[in-house]
Each structure stands twice: as structure tokens, then as C-alpha cells.
């Protein structure tokens, strides 16, 4: 595999999770894989009842920045998805720090078109959480990557599939007035940014 192919395969896998991956009919036809999660939108709701948010800045061009704080036991992707939908976000980016009591990251297995689980079953410090939101089928969809540190300083990271905040997660979410859209790409079965829409 050439360097260009290797880099391209990594970029494709990042976009795959972010954009919903396979179309609904294709995903439904594939069997579930133990220890894997197929790419797609977050569908669970109500798992972040302690989430608090506050608008902290806004400018004349429509850019807004929110402080978003998760309480003990809140699930991060569920909460972020609900927040993005409630606020009608069409594009934006976020960063966060905090800690998790547990999490599940993913590493994209290109052959299986699914994320192999990287489980985190202990308290960890959140070193970095970065992500974005864009529209997929007219609905805000969150894409996030994460890095965490264990008690001995070792780190682990990947695509964020699930994370339980403890004792807190402190996130700053900036949104823009210009919508960004991801569309299905027939060649790769990915939903990818189309900046011409």
C-alpha cells in the first residue's frame, strides 16, 4: 500500500463515522458484529439529564459559543446530540476536558466497515475531546475523537462511541451561521462533506 493510499484510508475512516457511514438499507442488511459498532447516527436520547448549557458569546455574523457542562453519570454523545438538535445547529466545532468513569472508543476496521471497540473500564482523565457537527439528511450529527490518560500516564484514544462523564466534562461549543452538509458518496458508501451545498 502506498503512503497516499494509507493516508487516504485513514481519512476515509474518520469521515465514515462522522457522516453516518452506510445508508439505512445497507446498514440494516449487515449482521451485527460482536465487539464492533457500525457507523451511524446517535439514536439514544435522555442519557445526559444533568447537562447544563449557557450562551457565553455571540457576534454579529451569527457565530455563537456555548459552555456545556456534563454532570456525573451523563453520557456525552447522547447529550451532545440532543443539545445540537435542540439548538438547531447546522455547523460547528467543540473541544473539552474533564474525566470519564468509563468509555468506548472505536478503531475503524475497513474490511468489516465497522468500529472495533476499544473499551475503557476505569476512571480516566480526558486529555482531549475534539469534534464537529454538520447536517446529515437535514439532521445535526456529532463526530468526535478522544484521548484519555490512565493513572500511570499511559494514553488511549480513537473515535468516541460512548463516554460516561465523572465527575464532570467541561465543553465549549462554537457554532456558525453557514450550514455544512455531508452527502452520501456512492464510491465509498460514506457521507462526506460537500462544501458546494
Condensed to tens digits (0 to 9), the pLDDT of residues 46-86 reads: 999 999 999 999 999 999 999 999 999 999 999 999 999 99
Residues 85-139 have pLDDT tens digits of 999 999 999 999 999 999 999 998 878 887 899 999 999 999 999 999 999 999 9
Q: Residue 18: helix, strand or coil by DSSP?
A: helix
* Cβ pair 98, 69 in contact under 8 A: no
pLDDT of 193 strictly over 80: yes
CATH number at 125 reads 3.30.1330.80
Angstrom distance (rounded) from CA 126 to CA 98 = 5
The separation between the first and the last C-alpha atoms of the chain, rounded to the nearest angstrom, is 33
pTM over the 0.95 mark: no
What is the number of structural domains in the chain? 1
For residue 144, give its domain range: 3-193
- The per-type count for the chain, helices as H runs and strands as E runs, is 3, 10
Q: Over pLDDT 70: what percentage of the chain? A: 80
Amino acid at each position: 500500500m502506498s503512503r497516499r493510499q494509507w493516508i487516504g484510508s485513514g481519512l476515509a475512516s474518520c469521515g465514515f463515522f462522522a457522516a453516518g457511514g452506510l445508508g439505512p438499507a445497507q446498514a440494516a442488511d449487515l449482521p451485527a458484529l460482536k465487539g464492533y459498532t457500525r457507523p451511524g447516527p446517535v439514536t439514544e436520547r435522555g442519557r445526559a439529564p444533568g447537562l447544563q448549557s449557557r450562551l457565553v458569546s455571540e457576534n454579529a455574523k451569527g457565530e455563537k459559543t456555548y459552555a456545556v457542562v456534563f454532570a456525573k453519570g451523563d453520557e456525552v454523545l447522547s447529550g451532545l446530540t440532543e443539545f445540537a438538535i435542540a439548538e438547531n445547529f447546522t455547523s460547528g466545532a467543540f473541544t473539552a476536558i474533564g474525566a470519564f468513569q468509563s468509555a468506548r472508543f472505536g478503531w475503524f476496521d475497513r474490511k468489516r466497515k465497522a468500529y472495533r471497540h476499544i473499551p475503557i473500564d476505569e476512571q480516566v482523565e480526558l486529555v482531549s475531546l475534539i469534534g464537529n457537527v454538520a447536517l446529515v439528511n437535514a439532521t445535526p450529527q456529532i463526530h468526535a475523537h478522544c484521548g484519555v490518560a490512565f493513572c500511570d500516564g499511559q494514553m488511549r484514544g480513537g473515535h468516541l462511541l460512548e463516554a460516561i462523564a465523572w465527575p464532570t466534562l467541561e465543553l465549549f461549543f462554537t457554532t456558525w451561521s453557514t450550514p455544512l452538509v455531508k452527502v452520501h458518496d456512492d464510491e465509498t458508501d460514506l457521507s462526506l462533506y460537500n462544501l458546494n451545498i
